[in-house]
Amino acid sequence: MGEQTTVKFPQEVIDEYAALGVDLPALFSAGHLGNRMGVRIVEASAERVVGTMPVEGNTQPYGLLHGGASAVLAETLGSVGTMLHGGISKIAVGVDLNCTHHRGVRSGMVTGVATPVHRGRSTATYEIVITDEQDKRVCTARLTCLLRDVRPQDAENVRGAGA
């Protein structure tokens, strides 16, 4: 779980954030909770965000992937997509998350793919499909985020933001 991966961002997005002195991979990471759970974002754009998470360490008492772990993966991926859609002047704040769990998983890695359902000026909704290593659907989630303007005090709470 400690291995580092490089997130693939569109070059124009990298350039936009670099001009502001922002460490884009740190800013669009899985966050403290996601890091503890082994979430790794491997591809990120406003059109598609892909991430992985190990089942081991993220199970419930019956040894199955915990539904809350799937929710963390889904919210992480949908939030990253929303933030990339909103751009450097907006912050994504989750307001609704719905998860349907289709099957249990006991081992291996799950992969989530977030794609937009709606991308507006003030909200964005992403569908996140989580599959197991056999490409069987484990969970389908929908996340809606509010896009709000960045405030000066937000910089102290955002890793990777130049201050």
Q: Which residues are catalytic?
A: 75
- Please calculate the CA angle 141-27-59 and round it to the nearest 5 degrees: 40
**Cβ-contact 100, 92 below 8 angstroms:** no
**Cβ-contact 31, 76 below 8 angstroms:** yes
Distance from C-alpha of 57 to C-alpha of 7, rounded to nearest angstrom = 23
Distance from C-alpha of 37 to C-alpha of 72, rounded to nearest angstrom = 9
